[in-house]
Amino acid sequence: MKRIRKDDQVLVISGKDKGRTGRVIRVIPDRDRALVEGRNFATKHVRAQQGPSGVTEGGIIQTEAPIHLSNLMPVCPSCDQGVRVNYVFTEEGNRRSKVRECKKCGAHF
């Protein structure tokens, strides 16, 4: 289980977007990276091309680039701050599940 998952609210703790928050669009576990919505924009120069669906327009495109997971910190929904994560096992009937817990307030998320 990773401490950062898709649709989590995260705080960027290092880099050009330090101190800003955003929602995780996609996690790339084999590269330990995540795409964060509206953060870490990279400029890409694209050439116009002719394809089966028509002409694609060229130009300079801004796209989100992946950020390393070590530079992201989950935001606790109750504290509304970047927090460290603790893992706790919970019992639900005969099922046992692993849940993330905020180290500051103890809330599960």
According to DSSP, the β-strands at 85-92 and 95-102 are: antiparallel
Helix (H, G, I), strand (E, B) or coil at 71: helix
How far apart are alpha carbons 23 and 19 in whole angstroms? 14
For residue 1, what pLDDT band results from cuts at 50, 70 and 90?
Answer: low
Q: What is the structure's pLDDT at 40?
A: 96
Q: What are phi and psi of 31, to 5 degrees?
A: -110, 0
Q: Give tens-digit pLDDT for 40-86.
A: 999 999 999 998 888 888 999 999 999 999 999 999 999 999 999 99
Q: How many CB atoms lie within 10 A of CB 81?
A: 14
**Type of residue found at 56:** T
How far apart are alpha carbons 52 and 89 in whole angstroms? 53
pLDDT value at 2 more than 90: no
Per-chain mean pLDDT for the chain = 93
Task: Give me the residue spans of the domains in the chain.
Answer: 1-51+58-75, 77-109
Q: State the architecture of 1-51+58-75 in CATH terms.
A: Roll (2.30)
